[in-house]
Amino acid sequence: MKLIQVRDYEEMSKKAADIVISYVKANPNAVLGLATGSTPTGLYKNLIEDHRKNGTSYKSVRTFNLDEYIGLDGNHPQSYRYFMDEHLFNHIDILKENTSVLNGKSENPEKECERYEQMIREAGGIHIQILGIGRNGHIAFNEPGTPFTSRTHIVKLAESTRQANSRFFQSLDEVPTHSITMGIETIMESREILLLASGSSKAEPIRKLFTEPISESFPASILRKHPNVIVIADQEALKDT
């Protein structure tokens, strides 16, 4: 893993955006893996700004998002589809049909997992995957204990994850109990991974990312086996490392 140390959230977002923008410029047919949460919103802001100022085009770019809550449809303000539309897709020239987010309202979630895997395969795999990290080391919604061999699957969310994410909902009760997520093996097949971390709440998971033995009890640890991971972390996130 390559570590890029930055000062703060702004610098992390700018560095990540520079990497994505130069990739998209060189590869107009880029396949991007995208993440939600507070961490990547600054990156998306930078992509939008650059699109407006410099005209970087996403017309032929395809995207796959990591995960979605089960039970929320794409119009629900806390769904990850809604998040992506609001924070990125509505503000750049990407074609909506080229953006894929798992369907949290699918009548047959198992089938939805297979469909998603097939779409990623047909797109030729993900070129750059953006990742955040959960406080317990989860990546996407792969909670501790998830097999490293997992493909896109349905997950019962850890209570700690529901609590951490309840800040986006009116109350904890409203946070869905299940989600649908790319699996760890699916993520590991991306050609390049960009993991972003900012703030002191990420200090412990970032320390563990670099020091814990590789184990399913700390899902992000598997990234150490990936040949092409860049971690961009700020001072606060690195304070214990």
Dist CA 235 CA 239 (whole Å): 6
Q: Which two tokens stand for residue 235?
A: 């001072």
By C-beta, is 56 or 137 nearer to ligand GLP?
Answer: 137
Dist CA 163 CA 161 (whole Å): 5
By C-beta, is 120 or 133 nearer to ligand GLP?
Answer: 133
By C-beta, is 61 or 175 nearer to ligand GLP?
Answer: 175
Q: Compute the least distance from the CB of residue 35 to ligand GLP, in Å.
A: 5
Is position 93 annotated as part of the catalytic site? Answer: no
What residues have CB less than 8 Å from 197, skipping those under 6 apart? 12, 39, 132, 133, 205, 206, 231, 232, 233, 234, 237
Return the closest-CA partner of residue 201 out of 240, 167, 144, 232: 240
Q: Compute the least distance from the CB of residue 181 to ligand GLP, in Å.
A: 7
Q: Compute the least distance from the CB of residue 26 to ligand GLP, in Å.
A: 26
The residues binding ligand GLP (CB under 6 A) are: 35-39, 66-67, 132-134, 140-141, 161, 165
Burial environment of residue 143 by CB neighbours within 10 A (0 to 12, 13 to 18, 19 or more)? buried
Q: Catalytic residue among 67, 68, 112, 234, which? A: 67
Residue 241: strand, helix, or coil: coil
By C-beta, is 94 or 182 nearer to ligand GLP?
Answer: 182
Residue with tokens 């750059």: 128
Is position 75 annotated as part of the catalytic site? Answer: no
Residue with tokens 């303000």: 77
Query: Phi and psi of 32, rounded to 5°?
Result: -105, 140
Is position 107 annotated as part of the catalytic site? Answer: no
Dist CA 141 CA 154 (whole Å): 9
Q: Compute the least distance from the CB of residue 128 to ligand GLP, in Å.
A: 15
By C-beta, is 33 or 89 nearer to ligand GLP?
Answer: 33
Q: Catalytic residue among 138, 142, 153, 234, which? A: 138
Query: Phi and psi of 192, rounded to 5°?
Result: -140, 145
Is position 138 annotated as part of the catalytic site? Answer: yes
Q: Catalytic residue among 136, 165, 234, 236, which? A: 136
Q: Compute the least distance from the CB of residue 55 to ligand GLP, in Å.
A: 29
The catalytic residues are 67, 136, 138, 143
